[in-house]
Structures are given as structure tokens and as C-alpha cells.
């Protein structure tokens, strides 16, 4: 037994030592007897022992082990059985340390009832009454569109009246308005036979299964047959139906013309707590079912384990029998009779990309929704992600980013932008004119700016230091920033990183290998926004300085004409050209006779004439 097991009771240690080398499910209990974790294992003894024989990298796992007071287990024949049992027990006990499925949506289905004259309608409940359910539809609008098409093509009944051979024989049915509007064929009084009505239902099922190509071929052949028999009115009715199906098919999500009857699972996982897994079923090249599940990590579960949970959840929820499943990685267990495909190119790779995009879009939609409904919680999630990505000891509620602007070696400036709770705090932005550095030296400029910024901040607001500093640049700029913080005495108090433009790599002090954050991570989004805002702010200030320098450059070269006089002249005459063309009396009226003569003498000289 290992490190943690020494702290456990002799009874628990004995249970762990005699565990079998078999597949199964294990449960951990706290001191009150509450189930706090349920797990599956290919080998119970090896898996359970791994919790107790070492210190784990993840703090939450160590907390779990510390809280375990007892355990029990169930042996099962296969890994698949272990996964099924684990899922059902997690749903029953809802243990605090288990991965949590955050899928509380109720998706709509289209139901085709099992009756003499079946009904077709939209529902959010699946009953075990023999009816056939198609879906689910992630967008209720899409479900209604399919239902409207079916009803437009075929006059199926919408009433809830029970119709049986006995009720038809009694003859007590009454024709309703739907019949007179020609939207029903009078099922309740037997005006259409169950066989003829059943043909409508069969064709509606084809639409709901996505088999529109077969339905169009059938309609076309029937249309040609009727036209050949000179039954043109009936042929025209079928032509209208054919065109309706054709328009519907054109709007369907066709992702591949060559792939049929496959299941696809795409994952969006940026390493954070929330992992999104999208499931699509593709039939005849079209997506006929799509659902996205959101899992919340509790113990840093790996993506293959979460994929296994999703496979079992979708299989159970929809009563599926998998054949070929397209996945980005192999799940952490084998499933009998299932072929897992990890495509590298071709149509299946495109399908996988569509699924990943759907998972990512669901994540973005949830984040937008959270921003509207609970912006503080959204900010907290972003800060938690940044804390993990940038290896911080606390949430980076106050972040500052620095950028140098030094175009063609003139007017070197730097900018500092400030984000608070992952949002710009523009009142805290600062500009810096480089004072001590001669020539274009980005590294020295960065050191000067950070020294000035934090020396002053230590004097004026020592309690308002940032938790993270981001410098725009690679190892050179980062080293200059570290030197500045070392000299001020803030090296261990503020974290600092550099972001290089080329591949958006993040550099840490003392680490020559950069970190490549997931392109879809909230951390990278915030740092990119910081960097872009610092660049924009710095360029604007640099442009203003160049413009002012160009305007006043000639006036500032005249001995006896100071900055105040320059501004007075420019306010009155608007440009240097007009000042040079003004008469002595006009100049004297504005700045007095002595300075007016200095100006006239300057602009009358040959060197001034050459400049103009």
C-alpha cells in the first residue's frame, strides 16, 4: 500500500488489498456514508490502488482521497457493462467529485403513433407506447418545418379521437372542418382505408429518416406513370409534392454525398472545466440528428473518458446500436461490435470537422448567454481559465499589457493598457514617451517603461498592483521586463509573460520552450485583446506625436520663439505656411513687435526659403 493508504482505517486498507483483477465499478464514501465518487475500471485492483499509492498532481484528486472513509465495488463481465453501470449510478447518487453532465435541455421529437390511422405531431416526451419517434431536433423551428412539409404533402389527421375498427363499425364519427378544408381524408368515418392512409405514413417516415432521395424517385416514377395514362390532374398533384420535397431537400444539411449511416462525435476541449461533445447521425449524406452534451470536469478527467460517457449517454438516450463511429480519438474502452474511425482526410474528416464546429458553437452560445444573464459568472470562468493557463497563484483580476511603438526610430513611445475582471479599464490606460533610451531599442525601452510604471505605482497605490503583466514580444522583451521587476523588488510578487505575434506563443520567465494555448481558449482571447488594444493605443499616441512634431518643427528651430508662442501663432494663423506669408504688422498684433521681427527675419532667410 502507498502514501495515502497509511492514513486510512485497517478495514479500508484490507478491502483495497483484496480487490480482484476484474472489470467493475467502485464507489467511495465519506465519513457520513455519502457516495462521493463512482468510477469504472478494467482492472479494479490496479485502478483503486492508484488513488492511494501516490500524491496526485490535481489538488481536487488529493482532496477526494483524503475524504474517502470507505469503499465498495461491483464486478461486471466487461468494460462496456462497467461503463453502463457507472453512468446509471452517477445519475442516481450524483457524487460531488464525479464528472457532471450539464444537459438539462428537453429536445423536441416528431412522433408517429401506433394506431389504425397514425397521427404525426411534435412532442418533448418519449413514451413507451409503441409509437415511433424521430429526432431529436436541436432547433424546434427545424422540427416544425419538417412537420409542415409532411402535412402539406399528405392529408394526415390531427385530431386525438381514438379510431378503431369498432368505432368505425358503430358509425358515430363526424366529419370536421379539416375534412372540408381537404386537410384530412375523413379517417373518423372510414372514407379512406387504413392501407391507403398507411402509404402516406410510410412516405412521411421516409422524410423523417432523411430518405428524401428515395421518396423523390418514387414520386417521379408515379408522376410519369400517371402522365403516360393521360391522368394529368393526378400527375400534376404529384408534381407539386415532388417540388415541395425537392425544395426541402435543398435546404437540408447535406455534408457528404458518399457517407451513409454513421455516427459522429466531435469534441471541443480547451483544457478548462467545461467540455462540449457534439453527436451527429448522418444518413444518406445528410445530418438527420444532432445533439450537444456539456460535461463539467471534477477531477481533470481526460477527453477519452468523457467521450466514453457521451457514447453511452447517447446510446442509452436514443436506444441506438452503433456500427461505425467517427471520433477524434479512441475512447478509453472497447465497445463490442463498434468500429471507431479516426479520419485524417476525406469526407469523414469533413464530417468530424462539422461536429467539432457544432460543439464549439454551442460553447460560444452558452458563453454569450452567460454574459447576458450573469456577466460576473462569465468573468469568473474566464479568470479561472487564465489562472490555470498562466500558472498563477491567484485570479488575474488586474492585468496590464505593454507595447512599444518605434516607427523608423522617431518619437519612441510605449503604451500600457489595463484590464480588470477580463474587461478593458480605459480610465487606467497610460502613455509613455521614452526618455532615457537613444535610438530604436525595444528591450531597453520596455525596461524603462516598466521601471517608471511600477516605481510610481509602488509609491502612489501599492495595493493596486496587477496579478499579471503581459509584454508584447518574445524572449527579449520578457527578459527586459523581468530585469525591471527584479530591480524594483517585485519579481516574485507579479507574474509576467510575453506573447509573440507569429504563432501566438506565450513565453514564461526562465522557460525557453513557449506555451501554445488552445486557439479557442478564453485565455488566449483575452491576451490577444490586451495585445491588440495596447498596440492600437500606442500607435494612436505615436501618430499624434509625429503629427505635432511635423507641424511645429520649423517654428521650434527659431531662437526666441518658445512653445507658448508657437501655440498662439498656430491658433491664430492655422498653419506654418500662413505664418510665413503674414505681414510684420499682422504678426506683431498677435505676438508683439520684437518676436514678429524674429519671425520675419527667419522666413526671409535663404535657408527658410529652401525648406518651403
266: β partners: 278
For 445-449, the CB contacts below 8 A with 24+ separation are 445/404, 445/406, 445/412, 445/414, 446/402, 446/404, 446/414, 446/471, 446/473, 446/477, 446/480, 446/481, 446/484, 447/480, 447/481, 447/483, 447/484, 448/484, 449/402, 449/404, 449/414, 449/416
386 vs 214 pLDDT, higher one: 386
Reply yes or no: is the peptide bond before residue 136 cis, omega within 30 of 0.
yes
Separation of alpha carbons 226 and 234, rounded Å: 7
pLDDT for 265 beyond 90: yes
110 vs 538 pLDDT, higher one: 110
| Residue partners of 236: CB distance under 8 A and separation at least 6 | none
Q: How high is the pLDDT of residue 400?
A: 92
Mean pLDDT of the region 222-237 = 85
Separation of alpha carbons 366 and 377, rounded Å: 12
Per-residue CA distances from 57 to 60, 65, 87, 343 (Å):
9, 13, 26, 33
User: In the chain, which residues fall in CATH 3.30.70?
Assistant: 262-370
Q: How high is the pLDDT of residue 548?
A: 53
Helix locations, 434-583, DSSP H: 442-460, 475-488, 522-552, 563-573, 576-581
Separation of alpha carbons 323 and 337, rounded Å: 7
- Tell me the pLDDT band of 609, cut-offs 50, 70 and 90: very low
Q: How high is the pLDDT of residue 502?
A: 62
Per-residue CA distances from 12 to 65, 409, 463 (Å):
12, 72, 49
The CATH number assigned to the domain with range 553-611 reads: 1.10.150.20
CATH 3.30.420.340 assigned to 384-547:
yes
* Residue appearing with cell numbers 492511494: 52
CATH topology for 262-370? Alpha-Beta Plaits (3.30.70)
Half-sphere exposure (CA, 13 Å, Cβ side) for 491?
11
Asked if 415 contacts 405 with a C-beta cutoff of 8 angstroms, the reply is yes
**Which candidate, 420, 380, 418, 426, places its Cα nearest to that of 397?**
420
**Which candidate, 112, 115, 139, 140, places its Cα nearest to that of 126?**
112
pLDDT for 552 beyond 60: no
Asked if 337 contacts 322 with a C-beta cutoff of 8 angstroms, the reply is yes
The CATH number assigned to the domain with range 4-98 reads: 3.40.1440.10
User: In the chain, which residues fall in CATH 3.30.420.340?
Assistant: 384-547
Mean pLDDT of the region 540-544 = 59
* Residue appearing with cell numbers 475524504: 67
- Tell me the pLDDT band of 572, cut-offs 50, 70 and 90: confident
Q: How high is the pLDDT of residue 399?
A: 92
Separation of alpha carbons 467 and 464, rounded Å: 9
- The pTM of the full predicted model, rounded to 2 decimals, is 0.53
For the chain, give the mean pLDDT: 80
Asked if 34 contacts 46 with a C-beta cutoff of 8 angstroms, the reply is no
Give the DSSP per-residue string, 78-145: SHHHHHHHHHHHHHHH--TTS-EE-------EEEE--SSS--EEEES---SSS-EEE---SSHHHHHH
User: In the chain, which residues fall in CATH 3.40.1440.10?
Assistant: 4-98
Q: Are strands 274-283 and 262-268 parallel, antiparallel or unpaired?
A: antiparallel
Amino acid at each position: 500500500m502507498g502514501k495515502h493508504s497509511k492514513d486510512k482505517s485497517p478495514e479500508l486498507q484490507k478491502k483495497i488489498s483484496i480487490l480482484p483483477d476484474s472489470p467493475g465499478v467502485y464507489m467511495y464514501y465519506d465519513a457520513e456514508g455519502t457516495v462521493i465518487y463512482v468510477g469504472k475500471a478494467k482492472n479494479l485492483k490496479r485502478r483503486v490502488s492508484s488513488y492511494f499509492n501516490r500524491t496526485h498532481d490535481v489538488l481536487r484528486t488529493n482532496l477526494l482521497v483524503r475524504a474517502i472513509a470507505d469503499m465498495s465495488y461491483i464486478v461486471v463481465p466487461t468494460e462496456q457493462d462497467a461503463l453502463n453501470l457507472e453512468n446509471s449510478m452517477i445519475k442516481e447518487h450524483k457524487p460531488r467529485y464525479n464528472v457532471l453532465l450539464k444537459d438539462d435541455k428537453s429536445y423536441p421529437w416528431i412522433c408517429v403513433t401506433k394506431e389504425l390511422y397514425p397521427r404525426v405531431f411534435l412532442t418533448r416526451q418519449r413514451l413507451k407506447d409503441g409509437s415511433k419517434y424521430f429526432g431529436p431536433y436541436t432547433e424546434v423551428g427545424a422540427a416544425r418545418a419538417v412537420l409542415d412539409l409532411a402535412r402539406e404533402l399528405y392529408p394526415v389527421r390531427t385530431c386525438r379521437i381514438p379510431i378503431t375498427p369498432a368505432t368505425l363499425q358503430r358509425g358515430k364519427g363526424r366529419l370536421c372542418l379539416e375534412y372540408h378544408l381537404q386537410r384530412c381524408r375523413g379517417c373518423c368515418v372510414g372514407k379512406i382505408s387504413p392501407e391507403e392512409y398507411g402509404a402516406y405514413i410510410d412516405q412521411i417516415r421516409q422524410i423523417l429518416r432523411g430518405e428524401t432521395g428515395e421518396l423523390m424517385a418514387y414520386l417521379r416514377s408515379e408522376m410519369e406513370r400517371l402522365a403516360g395514362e393521360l391522368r394529368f390532374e393526378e400527375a400534376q398533384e404529384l408534381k407539386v409534392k415532388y417540388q415541395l420535397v425537392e425544395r426541402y431537400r435543398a435546404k437540408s444539411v447535406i455534408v457528404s454525398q458518399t457517407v451513409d449511416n454513421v455516427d459522429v462525435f466531435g469534441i471541443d476541449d480547451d483544457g478548462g472545466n467545461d467540455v462540449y461533445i457534439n453527436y451527429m447521425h448522418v444518413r444518406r449524406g445528410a445530418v438527420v440528428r444532432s445533439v450537444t452534451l456539456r460535461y463539467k470536469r471534477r477531477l481533470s478527467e481526460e477527453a477519452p473518458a468523457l467521450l466514453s460517457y457521451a457514447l453511452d449517454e447517447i446510446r442509452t438516450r436514443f436506444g441506438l446500436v452503433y456500427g461505425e463511429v467517427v471520433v477524434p480519438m479512441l475512447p478509453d474502452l472497447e465497445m463490442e461490435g463498434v468500429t471507431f474511425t479516426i479520419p485524417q482526410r476525406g469526407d469523414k474528416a469533413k464530417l468530424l470537422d462539422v461536429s467539432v464546429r457544432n460543439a464549439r458553437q454551442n460553447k460560444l452560445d452558452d458563453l454569450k448567454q452567460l454574459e447576458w444573464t450573469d456577466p460576473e459568472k462569465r468573468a469568473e470562468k474566464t479568470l479561472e481559465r487564465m489562472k490555470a493557463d498562466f500558472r498563477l497563484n491567484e485570479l488575474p483580476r488586474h492585468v496590464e499589457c505593454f507595447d512599444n511603438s518605434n516607427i523608423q526610430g522617431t518619437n519612441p513611445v510605449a503604451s500600457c493598457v489595463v484590464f480588470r475582471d477580463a474587461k478593458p479599464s480605459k480610465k487606467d490606460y497610460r502613455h509613455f514617451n521614452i526618455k532615457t533610451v537613444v535610438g530604436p531599442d525595444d528591450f531597453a525601452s520596455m525596461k524603462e517603461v516598466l521601471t517608471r510604471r511600477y516605481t510610481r505605482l509602488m509609491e502612489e497605490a501599492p495595493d493596486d498592483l496587477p496579478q499579471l503583466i503581459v509584454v508584447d514580444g518574445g524572449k527579449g522583451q520578457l527578459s527586459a521586463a523581468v530585469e525591471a521587476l527584479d530591480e524594483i523588488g517585485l519579481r516574485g510578487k507579479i507574474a509576467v509573460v510575453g506573447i509573440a505575434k507569429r504563432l501566438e506563443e506565450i513565453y514564461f520567465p526562465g522557460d525557453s520552450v513557449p506555451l501554445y494555448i488552445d486557439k479557442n481558449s478564453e485565455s488566449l482571447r483575452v491576451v490577444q485583446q490586451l495585445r491588440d488594444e495596447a498596440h492600437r493605443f500606442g500607435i494612436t499616441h505615436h501618430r499624434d506625436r509625429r503629427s505635432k512634431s511635423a507641424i511645429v518643427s520649423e517654428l521650434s528651430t527659431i531662437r526666441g520663439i518658445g512653445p507658448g508662442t508657437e501655440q498662439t501663432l498656430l491658433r491664430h494663423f492655422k498653419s506654418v505656411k500662413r505664418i510665413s506669408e503674414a505681414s510684420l504688422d499682422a504678426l506683431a498684433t498677435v505676438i508683439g513687435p520684437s518676436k514678429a521681427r524674429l519671425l520675419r527675419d527667419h522666413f526671409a532667410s535663404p535657408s527658410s526659403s529652401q525648406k518651403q
